[in-house]
A and B are shown apart, each in its own frame.
Chain A
Amino acid sequence: MRLPRRVPWSSLSELDDICSCIYADQDDIAAKKQAINRATWKAITPLPHALDSILSLLVILVQDSEQIPGYNLALRQSYAIAIIRLVNGLVDPLQLGAYARSIASIAQQLNLPPWLVELRHAATHEELPSLDVLREAARQSMAWLLDNYFMPLLNPLPVAPQEAPKMRPLLPVLKTYKQTMRLITRDASLKNQYKPKILSLLKDSERWISECRVTANISMGELGWTAAQRSDSLTSDSDGKETWALEQFCDVLAERGALIPLAKKKRVTSKEGLLPSQASIILWEPLLQHIHNIHLDFPFTLCHRFSRILIQHLCLKTESNTHTSDPSYDEYLASWIIWVTQTWEQIPDLRKEVLVYLIQQLGTEMPSSSAGRALVFRLLDTLAVDVDDLQPAINFLRTAHSSAGSSTKWHSEDLNVMLQRMDSIQVAPELSPESMSQETNNCEGTVVLPTGWSKTSRTWAPCPIGVHA
């Protein structure tokens, strides 16, 4: 999530009002004045550059149209400065290099009329242009701003063209990879022969992730807290997108025919515990290692994603029949989670993080089938070896679940308990304003507030800043 931006309007409809005030009727000076007054938004938070420019142009246009006698020089200066600042403000954000680009070239990129750029130069360095030219420039600028600021903002194009381009399917790549690997593992003498192919397949998977990362921009809109863009995070500003791309990759891995063999009889977990079969490991480890080498976070993403898929499967199964019960699939998925945590056990907190995630998820939703529950607890127990501080949480899950299973019915006492809790919760906020200065108040008893000040009533409810409830 990127942080939102503070804007002076409560909703776009307010901006729409301003737009129609300005542009609806060229000669309606009163409406324009109203728009100027409303643009005191500037005192709330800095305006977007376009709006700021519109304000300066509007002020001078109104002044000019009122034909108050005065010096023309003042008018010319006002027009000139409005246009200089308009052009500069539009061009400056695109000065991205170390060296300055020519303003004309940037203007071309923005589709800004070139003669405005000339005018800017003339007004800055040469003779102040004539009133006639300046008036025309102001008119054109206003029209340009309508087309390039208000219109796209208020009537955004339908979202359709922005939809994520369809990713090319990854599963075939993975399948080819699997087949090739199988060939190698069966006949080691083929190894040299197929090495280039394996390499290119690995590269292809990697390329897929990169492509996915690019589409992430569009698919998820703006991602990444500004905090994530701090240069101290080693990943610079790619965090969110990369994770997203990896998640997509993991989803494909979890499909049948990839990490999970298609044939149910091949989904045999190894004897030593809940682990994928040796054959699967041999096939897939190079790929997983490869991805991990490039994306340090891959094990985390893989475990998270697989845990999520697992829990979704187990919890939704009974309700929707889209996933017919496939216990061996779930079991195999769980075994991969364990394999990942064991293979990369040197990664600090990997196991713990997976555990915490699982426990949190299971806390809200427990698999309905007993087999499913057995599986998740087997998974938890395997993961939780030596993680003592999470043992109580797992035990709690176990007991909470077994007890909840016995008494799923509601009793009237339950309602009473809930009411009591609600009361206590509602009372709590009332106490806090006093608690701010408890020490000083205790001696005086009640708090004396200045005239005109009072506490908000008990009915006051939290609401966003800027809303008067």
Chain B
Amino acid sequence: MISAVAARKAALAAQQAASTSQVPADRDASTSTVEQPPSKPPSSVSKPPSTKRKPSTQKSRPEPKKLRKSKKRLPNDSMDVFREQTDVIDLGSGDSDEDVMDIGMSEDSDADFDSEQNIPSNRQSKRAWSPSMPLKDGSNSDSSLDDDDINGSEPFAGLDVTTLLPTSRNTRGPHIPQNEGVLSASTFEPSIDENLFFLTEEETQTLGYTGTSTLVGLNFHDTLCLLGTCTFVLVQGSLEVNGVCIRPSSQRHQMFAPRSSALPFFKCGSEKLPPFPLPASISPRLQELFGHRVVIMFQSLQTGVESLGKACRTFENVFELPRWPNDCGQKPFKIPGLSMVSKQTKDLQPFSPLASWSKALHDLAPSTSTHTGVYLIKGPKNTGKSTFSRNIVNHLLTQYRQVAYLECDIGQSEFTPGGMVALNIVSSPIFGPPFTHPTVPFSSHYVGHTTPRSSPSYYLDCILACIQKYRSEIQVCPDDMDDEMDSRISEFIPLVVNTMGWTKGLGADLTQKIQAMVEPTDIFDIQPTSHHATPHALPPVIGHQGQYTAYQNGSLIPDQGARTHILEQAPPTSLAGFTSADHRAISMLSYFFATFKPTKPGFTGTGDVGQWEVSGWDVSRPLCAIPPYSIDCSVAFDKVVLTGAGTEDVVASEIGRVLNGAIVGLVSCEAGALDIDDGLSDGQGNLSSGIPYSQQALPPLPQASNCIGIALVRGVSDPIVTENMTGTRAQPTTNLHLLTPLPPPLLSQANARILVKGELELPVWGMLDFRHDRDGDLGYVAGVERDKVPYLQWGKGPEGVIGGDKKRIRRNLMRKGQS
């Protein structure tokens, strides 16, 4: 609802701005009795008020007042300085509550940790305008008022109402930059049966595919910027998607392009490739199409991803063209849910390829069949690490059949909700932001936090375990897939490592340690542009041989021949409104609503280089209405572990309370590696509640365990005591209601008998019930009135309460004399 309102406002504002020059003319034409005074040129709109002719004193009196008023209001409207700063630490969940004000909003938010970024200078322009605060008030009307009495004899029809308006609409809309909308996104001009063909099912079949499809031919200068979802097949020519060249293949690529991230950008690749061998049966009308340099086949993709916007309204309609401006895009492809963006606007930002990025990919050592690369990407947050990581994966997939991806950024992970170090095997290129491709990774370890700040050593252990797993099971691919058609390398799987954006202090030390463990062949160091950032990452103190470097054990191995590529940072995306907290929330919700399928047919679990990937989203019901699994805690789990600073003090009698509503990692552990006794003997909670918890228990060793995924404990019963046949009391137990999207075959095979709870929380969106949102009221949850819904507090709370909010921290506070 709200986003609709916003869009509408934008539309109106735009229209008024756009029609500024013609509106006065139109109006005068229609009411011919009033003549355009010579002193008021039609272009007066664009002139600043100061150039206006001085109005008569009497009439101008209200004007300065109003101006003063609006000036006064300005600080009020932009009161919330927490909002202004680029990073606020929400000491807590880091989740989507309203308290989180982390404005850094690129794909790649990273830990909330590095600090003191200056307020970007463009922030002001965004905030300055408010609808109730006309900036250039009335100056235009003065002139019209002076002149409007030329012809007033006709009482009714002749009265020009515009002359009475103190505010002319023409003066509005300073918030819309003049050049906006001029930047074109797609230069492709669709012309049916020339470069755009709609194929029937039979025609599609001649190309070897089913269903109907749309073929698009691109010439060298054509660019195509897409919004929505589709699958595409590159039929002919070399295509550059977001700066990465892909080659024709029979592979159907899935593309997800929501407005919340930079939109995919297609253009012809530079490589010359032989034309597509046309099948003899092909319809003659298509001949012309194949004269184009690049031919792409688009088909519709129905996954239900759009409906995630229901569950998290921040992302409502992100796969649709915004309402404004009307001409920002079109839908020429006859494919439901796919639009072509014709010009760049504030809400629609195409990916803009960077020269240094393309060069770095180009400079990679050519792949050989005796050697694989390990590629490490590092840099401060919001500089495009994730985006570059996706690019390099896509690039490597043109040479290798599979690419391994190690995610060390646990704030916003590429393939999983945050909080996990995960090793993924990617076999098809990624076209979409993280929430459109959740997976059940090949191997992962649950840290439970969005930053490693409270358990750095465990975090490092998790990464080490993943690297060892990669080296022993993945790097040299055990099964040699024999596929004559596919010339890509299958014997080796290269590794891409994405690091976190916490690049200062302890974060820098951790990244350095990761680098030493990973032993990369290539390092991509994204450097922030100087004016934008902070004196970033002071040079490490190398002279001391890591003596005072955290978690290095004094044995820092110097990089052995790793090549370092310095990259420029991605232009800061101006996709305002999507904060890193929003992205975290949507990827968590996306995970819980996802349905998973194996990447390879027949793959069931461990022992094979394969994993589970998303097949669709079922958002027909909110989380509160999905029937959970019912679990007898004493039977199903061996150990319940809490991690995070302060959780050591949770006494056993409180564990049920702590688990209720929590996000937990489901961890399986190798037999014998878990010290179960320690959980059973002295845990008094175990005796009274049947939850195998004991205080200060440590999470299982990453080397011997694996997190299969996360679950939501949506309900915890009171301890249940049953009586045996003999009348003696049995061990008490507790029943948990658990929600997890993990497929049952995986659950039964993986045997995850450990629950780990960290700081990660369910986004508040996930606790609401979108079925009851008539009139925008999300108050009712599963039939319970808003004030009676447990664990949620609506509104600000009563007057006079001090300290009722979570901590908010400002790191951009300046002292006097500092600037």
Contact = CB atoms under 8 A, between A and B. Distances in A.
Interface string A280-311: 00100110011011111100100000000000
A40 B347 CA distance: 43
23 contacts: A6-B761, A6-B793, A44-B658, A50-B802, A96-B79, A149-B801, A152-B799, A191-B149, A195-B164, A203-B66, A225-B2, A226-B98, A227-B313, A228-B2, A297-B5, A435-B618, A449-B748, A454-B629, A454-B630, A463-B782, A464-B769, A466-B660, A466-B661
A453 B631 contact: yes
A43 B271 CA distance: 56
Nearest to B576: A232
Contacts of A65: none
Given A233-B5, A346-B19, A347-B12, 17 more contacts: A6-B761, A47-B806, A53-B803, A99-B814, A100-B815, A195-B145, A200-B62, A222-B796, A230-B6, A439-B597, A440-B743, A444-B745, A449-B744, A449-B748, A450-B752, A452-B631, A465-B791
B745 A466 contact: no
Interface string A432-459: 1101110111001001111111111100
Contacts of B161: 282, 285-286, 289
Given A44-B661, A279-B156, A198 B131 contact: no
B134 A148 contact: no
A142 interface: no
Contacts of B662: 44
Given A227-B2, A463-B784, A451 B636 contact: yes
A105 interface: no
B11 interface: yes
Most buried by B among A51, A90, A455: A455
A282 B164 CA distance: 11
Contacts, number: 449
Interface string A197-222: 01110110000001001000000011
B456 interface: no
A290 B576 contact: no
Contact of A294 (B156, B167, B628, B795): B167
B663 to A, nearest CB: 11
Interface in B628-663: 628-637, 642, 644, 646-647, 649-651, 653-654, 657-658, 660-662
A1 B633 CA distance: 38
A234 B794 CA distance: 26
B803 A90 contact: yes
Interface residues of B, number: 171
A282 B818 CA distance: 58
Interface string B137-159: 00000000100110011111111
Contact of A437 (B130, B745, B803): B745
Given A40-B654, A456-B630, A465 B11 contact: no
Nearest to B59: A196
Contacts of B62: 199-200, 203
B145 A462 contact: no
A263 interface: no
B284 interface: no
A188 B152 contact: yes
Contacts of B575: 232
A7 B791 contact: yes
Contacts of B274: none
B593 to A, nearest CB: 10
B790 A40 contact: no
A145 interface: yes
Interface stretch (A130-138, A236-244, A379-387): A236-244
A231 B145 contact: no
B808 interface: yes
A468 B636 contact: no
Interface string B27-67: 00000000000000000000000000000001100100010
A148 B802 CA distance: 6
B576 A203 contact: no
A297 B9 contact: yes
Interface stretch (B109-117, B220-228, B511-519, B771-779): B771-779
Interface stretch (B275-283, B334-342, B710-718): B710-718
A287 to B, nearest CB: 9
Contacts of B813: 95, 98-100
A465 B712 contact: yes
B6 A234 contact: yes
Contacts of B99: 5
Contacts of B765: 3
Interface of A: 1-11, 36-38, 40-53, 89-90, 92-93, 95-100, 110, 145, 148-149, 152-153, 156-157, 162, 184-189, 191-192, 195-196, 198-200, 202-203, 210, 213, 221-222, 224-228, 230-240, 242-243, 278-279, 282, 285-286, 289-290, 292-297, 300, 346-349, 429-430, 432-433, 435-437, 439-441, 444, 447-457, 460-469
B597 A453 contact: no
Contacts of A187: 155
Given A213-B132, A465-B714, A4 B159 contact: no
Nearest to A98: B814
B814 A465 contact: no
B93 interface: yes
Interface string B707-728: 0000010111110000000000
A315 to B, nearest CB: 17
A46 B637 CA distance: 27
Nearest to B574: A232
B132 A295 contact: yes
A48 B803 CA distance: 6
B743 to A, nearest CB: 4
Contacts of A5: 97-99, 764, 792-794
B704 to A, nearest CB: 19
A240 B161 CA distance: 30
A162 B168 CA distance: 38
Given A188-B152, A188-B154, A462 B782 contact: yes
Contact of A48 (B576, B623, B660, B804): B804
Nearest to A8: B791
Contacts of B597: 437, 439-440
B577 interface: yes
Most buried by A among B98, B635, B798, B802: B802
Interface string B10-36: 111101100100000000000000000
Contacts of B784: 463-464
B589 interface: no
A4 B164 contact: no
Nearest to B783: A462
Contacts of B145: 195
Given A225-B2, A296-B9, A464-B789, A186 B627 contact: no
B762 A465 contact: yes
B802 A110 contact: yes
Contacts of A292: 169
Contacts of A233: 2-3, 5-6, 9-10, 577
Nearest to B148: A191
A192 B805 contact: no
A198 B797 CA distance: 43
B691 to A, nearest CB: 12
Contact of A448 (B172, B578, B748): B748
Interface string B167-182: 1110010010000000
B11 A348 contact: yes
A236 B12 contact: no
B807 A46 contact: yes
B75 to A, nearest CB: 9
A234 B175 contact: yes
B626 interface: yes
Given A185-B155, A433-B627, A448-B748, A97 B81 contact: yes
A93 B808 CA distance: 6
A466 B658 contact: no
Contacts of B788: 11
Contact of B744 (A98, A441, A468): A441
